[in-house]
Amino acid sequence: MTTTSRDDEAVAAAALAYRTLEPYHLTAYFGPHVDAVREELGIGWLGSYTGMRAAPLGAVPGPVVAAAFFGFRPPAVEKAWGLARQGRSPADLDALRTRCVDAGLREALGDAASSPELARVADGLRSVLDGADHGGRVLSAAYAALPWPDEPHLALWHAATLWREWRGDGHNAALVAAGLRPLEALVLYDAWVRETSPATAGTRGRPFLQPSRKWTDDEWDAATVALTGAGLLAFPSRGEAGAALTPEGRRLRDGIESTTDAVSATVWVGVDDAAGLLTAARPFVKAVIDTGWLPGTRRKG
């Protein structure tokens, strides 16, 4: 049995890896290169997002994609997957995503795209992630079945994405274990962000989550009522932006994050200088952040 709940170094590495690598992964979904692909496909943002993210799953039915995405409104995901698949195979969408990511990263990184240090970081992360066990982690297993790209900037994206989806599959399992339905998980997360990081609530909370995941106001309000009835939220006072976490709700939400880090830590057990490897990735991630493409960021320079 591989348990990491008491391996503090591995758990810390898992949390650091999420904070460090997530922006690099998001290059596939935000920026002018993504807008160009969306226009090429002739479908909206969710259609291009769903098509490119779910392509490694293969020709699966829409409900399977919705289950893998978890937090999105299932009928919206099913429709988006159908639109993305019109006249296109999953392999076509894989190729389209690779072309999109390549264009975005080349613009963001400039000459650094061919940096030997970038290749070293990508190789280091590959050695870590090749040891990941994908049991119970369907979306990450689908990406793991793809060949590693030869180009270092794409290899780093593949590593960041493998990690992101591997962690995300574990996070979804933690949410399910907590008894939360997809929209309830989002509503609870929104309240948690407003309490713990209010400055980012506009880009991480309801103003971003509800429209991007296609939930209606009535559905959001019904989930709020359900969580309030469960003692996890308290109805907002006059002037408050939304329902607030109760002490029980805060304990549950904090516990979900801790559980996610713990169950994501297995790949970092025994990794020498994980912090050093992730620190070495930061200049390349910062180049992506400095483009201003990602929600909540502004172009630098």
What string of H, E and C letters represents the secondary structure of 233-246? Answer: EECCCCCCCCCEEC
64-72 mean pLDDT: 97
User: How many whole angstroms separate alpha carbon 41 and alpha carbon 51?
Assistant: 10
At residue 242, the pLDDT reads 83
Q: Report the share of the chain in percent with pLDDT over 90.
A: 92
| pLDDT band, very low/low/confident/very high, at 88 (cuts 50, 70, 90) | very high
145-173 mean pLDDT: 97
Contact 134, 144 (CB under 8 A): yes
At residue 6, the pLDDT reads 55
Residues ≥6 apart with Cβ < 8 Å to 6: none
Instruction: Provide the whole-model pTM.
Output: 0.94
How far the first Cα of the chain sits from its last, in Å, is 50
pLDDT digits (tens, 9 = 90+) for 242-270: 899 999 999 999 999 999 999 999 999 99
At residue 239, the pLDDT reads 57
DSSP 8-state class, residue 299: -
34-48 mean pLDDT: 92
DSSP 8-state class, residue 60: -
At residue 235, the pLDDT reads 84
Phi, psi of 155 (to 5 degrees): -65, -40
Give the closest residue to 266 by CA, choosing from 132, 125, 122, 127.
132
Phi, psi of 214 (to 5 degrees): 70, 30
16-20 mean pLDDT: 96
DSSP-assigned beta bridge partners for residue 244: 234
pLDDT digits (tens, 9 = 90+) for 170-197: 999 999 999 999 999 999 999 999 999 9
| pLDDT band, very low/low/confident/very high, at 59 (cuts 50, 70, 90) | very high
User: How many whole angstroms separate alpha carbon 263 and alpha carbon 99?
Assistant: 33
| pLDDT band, very low/low/confident/very high, at 47 (cuts 50, 70, 90) | very high
At residue 296, the pLDDT reads 87
pLDDT digits (tens, 9 = 90+) for 90-127: 999 999 999 999 999 999 999 999 999 999 999 999 99
Q: Across all residues in the chain, what is the average pLDDT?
A: 94
| pLDDT band, very low/low/confident/very high, at 65 (cuts 50, 70, 90) | very high
| pLDDT band, very low/low/confident/very high, at 60 (cuts 50, 70, 90) | very high
For residue 93 the two structure tokens come to 């969408």
72-76 mean pLDDT: 98
- Between 207 and 238, name the one with better pLDDT: 207
226-240 mean pLDDT: 86
Angle subtended at Cα 20 by Cα 19 and Cα 24, rounded to the nearest 5 degrees: 110
Residue 84 has pLDDT above 80, yes or no: yes
For residue 22 the two structure tokens come to 């997530």
At residue 4, the pLDDT reads 42
At residue 3, the pLDDT reads 47
